[in-house]
Amino acid sequence: MKNFEIRHHLGHLITTVNLEKATFQEAIEFKSLIDDEIDQGFNNIIISLNGCESFDSAFIGVLVVIWKKVQARGGSLKLVKNGKFDHSVLHLTGAIEIFEKYDSIQEALESYSTPIDQLNASEFLKQANFFKNN
């Protein structure tokens, strides 16, 4: 199994961290991987940390750098960890406050605006009339 899995869904980047412990060494690899994706235009990122029991300050620093980078480009970074942020280093350091947190990838995806092709017909017509009149 790879340390990091990358998927794309409706223009969003979904990354899963498959490490029990994320440290400085993995942080360098992870930052490089995510930077490449951001350079390709993926500015809305979901990172699943469900399999990661702990991370050091270097890995937290990388998460903050990624967050700042996507924020500057109008995107967002959402973290997923099934209800386990309470006792994490992110929580203890206060860094958790800057991130949007979700219990599942599905929840994080649903928090984004719904793409127009997923709107039902009546909602689409309402929005079409809005754009026509404005």
More confident residue, 64 or 130: 64
Measured in degrees and rounded to the nearest 5, phi and psi for residue 82 equal -55, 85
pLDDT at 16: 94
Q: What is d(CA 64, CA 59) in angstroms, rounded to the nearest whole number? A: 9
Chain centroid, CA 124 distance in Å: 27
Read off the pLDDT of residues 1-50 as tens digits, 9 standing for 90 and up. Answer: 689 999 998 889 999 999 989 899 999 999 999 999 999 999 999 999 98
pLDDT at 115: 53
The tokens describing 30, both together, are 């992870």
92 lies in which domain range? 4-133
Mean pLDDT calculated for residue range 64-82: 93
CATH number for 83 = 3.30.750.24
Mean pLDDT calculated for residue range 102-109: 89
pLDDT at 122: 46
pLDDT of 125 over the 80 cut:
no
Measured in degrees and rounded to the nearest 5, phi and psi for residue 114 equal -75, 125
pLDDT at 83: 64
- Report the domain count for the chain: 1
pLDDT at 39: 96
pLDDT of 117 over the 50 cut:
no
Return the CA Rg of the chain: 17
Residue 115, SS3? Answer: coil
Mean pLDDT calculated for residue range 75-82: 90
Identify whether the C-beta of residue 31 lies closer than 8 Å to the C-beta of residue 50: no
Alpha helix (H) residue ranges in the chain: 24-39, 57-72, 89-93, 105-110, 121-133
Residue 99, SS3? Answer: coil
pLDDT of 128 over the 70 cut:
no
